[in-house]
Amino acid sequence: MRASWQFATFTAALMTFVALVWFSPAQMQRAQALPSFAKAYGVSCSVCHTVPPLLNAYGRYIQRTGYAALDRSLLDKGVPVNIAEEPMYDSQASPRMQLGNLAIHIAGYIADGLTYHVHQWITQGNEPGGLDTFQIVYSKLFDGYGHLFVGKLSGLPVPGPFSNQSDIAPYASAEMMVGEHMYQQDMMRWGAAFSYVRSDLYVQAAWLGSNADWSGATDFSSDTDKTFEWIAAYADPGKPFEAGLYGSIGSYPLAEGGVDPYRTIGVYAQRDPGPHAVPGFFALYQWGYDANPGLAMGMGGPMMMLPPAHSVTDTVELYEPIFNQRGIIGLRQEMTGDGLGNVTHGGDIDLSLQPLAKLDYLHLFLESGLQQNSTPAWRAGLWWVSPL
């Protein structure tokens, strides 16, 4: 009784904090948390998520097959529509407080072996919303182990937390700046991908272009970043541990003309929390090379051409579920070195929580972040996603 009262008090305090600060637009990646799947199967969201939206090993397997691993006969019985609202607060955003973002997710089967996922923002930062995801997947290749993705893709050939995390702030490793070039490893982009998912083997490769809305589907212009990305990993859907290699080769258009040819290669490991009191972790180390990072202001004022840059970045994050899998605490440390003399260290402390035990679709997020040469950041969010 006392424990229940203490938890109720703690939950009320957190909810009051969020209500008082209002909210601002989110950077969180929520594209794959689809409670309509859990409703169709009659199971909890925890089957695929450590704590939504953070995917566990089985959830990552479902994502990488383009949902073809799910039973069509069950999904067809339900309504494939999910509605999500994400009001947020960020002390470093401008403006800090906004009412958030309203989105619709639609996902399921078109025909045998053919699945789809659409994520459309209705409003985004109090403005008319854009397209987040529009992908179609054909999964009747190589005896059902091969999956061809086309469209504006989510869950690209990168470590899973880049596209599905329980933190508010994105990973610095995924969006590192090298001169003029900003990496887009956690962004939805138009293109095509092929994945091979069998037993404990996961391999995927993708050609990617624009991250724009519907106009990006036909944007093949020279001023669009074009990237070939790949990943190869040990990833057993029944085991909590995953590890592999990933990389990219691309060309980034520069503001003054020309391109920056770049490439990366990284190694990562991930473990879902538990059992036996073992915390979850996510760790990576990535090397990069930008042959032509572009222009920068020189000491005397005139613009100067930057030299080729060998960048490095690392991420280490620990996370542990709390309150009987209804919440998760995360501790993250990151370093980025752009190869041009700029080295940045940063970290975050995160709390993700389902504040109401009988309402799986409501989630609370709190984050405190600190980055080198910056004041502390305070972020909060309330995420509601529900099937029709």
Q: CA distances (Å), 363 to each of 72, 269, 275, 290, in order?
A: 28, 27, 24, 39
Q: Report the domain count for the chain.
A: 1
Each residue of 274-283: pLDDT tens digit? 766 788 999 9
Q: What is the pLDDT of residue 19?
A: 36
Each residue of 44-63: pLDDT tens digit? 888 898 888 889 999 999 99
Domain assignment present for residue 38? The answer is yes
Q: What is the pLDDT of residue 378?
A: 95
Q: What is the pLDDT of residue 301?
A: 65
Q: What is the pLDDT of residue 236?
A: 97
Each residue of 185-199: pLDDT tens digit? 999 999 999 999 999
Give the pLDDT mean for 10-32.
38
Segments forming the whole domain that contains residue 135 = 14-387
In this structure, are residues 154 and 133 in contact, taking their beta carbons and an 8 Å threshold? yes
| Most confidently predicted of 154-163, 200-209, 296-305, 356-365 | 200-209
Domain assignment present for residue 216? The answer is yes
Q: What is the pLDDT of residue 155?
A: 76
Q: What is the pLDDT of residue 299?
A: 60
What does the alpha-carbon distance between residue 130 and residue 214 come to, in Å, rounded to a whole number?
8
Q: What is the pLDDT of residue 306?
A: 94
Domain assignment present for residue 95? The answer is yes
Give the pLDDT mean for 241-251.
97
Q: Who has greater pLDDT, 318 or 96?
A: 318
Torsion of CA 231, 232, 233, 234, to 10 degrees: 160
Q: What is the pLDDT of residue 234?
A: 98
From the number of C-beta atoms within 10 Å of its C-beta (0-12, 13-18, 19+), residue 250 rates as buried
Domain assignment present for residue 2? The answer is no
Tokens 């078109």 identify what position? 110
Q: Residue 149's domain is classified under what CATH number?
A: 2.40.160.10
Each residue of 163-185: pLDDT tens digit? 888 899 999 999 999 999 999 99
- Predicted confidence band at 32 (pLDDT cuts at 50, 70, 90)? low
- Predicted confidence band at 388 (pLDDT cuts at 50, 70, 90)? confident
Domain assignment present for residue 311? The answer is yes
Domain assignment present for residue 184? The answer is yes
Each residue of 271-325: pLDDT tens digit? 998 766 788 999 999 999 999 999 886 666 677 889 999 999 999 999 998 888 8
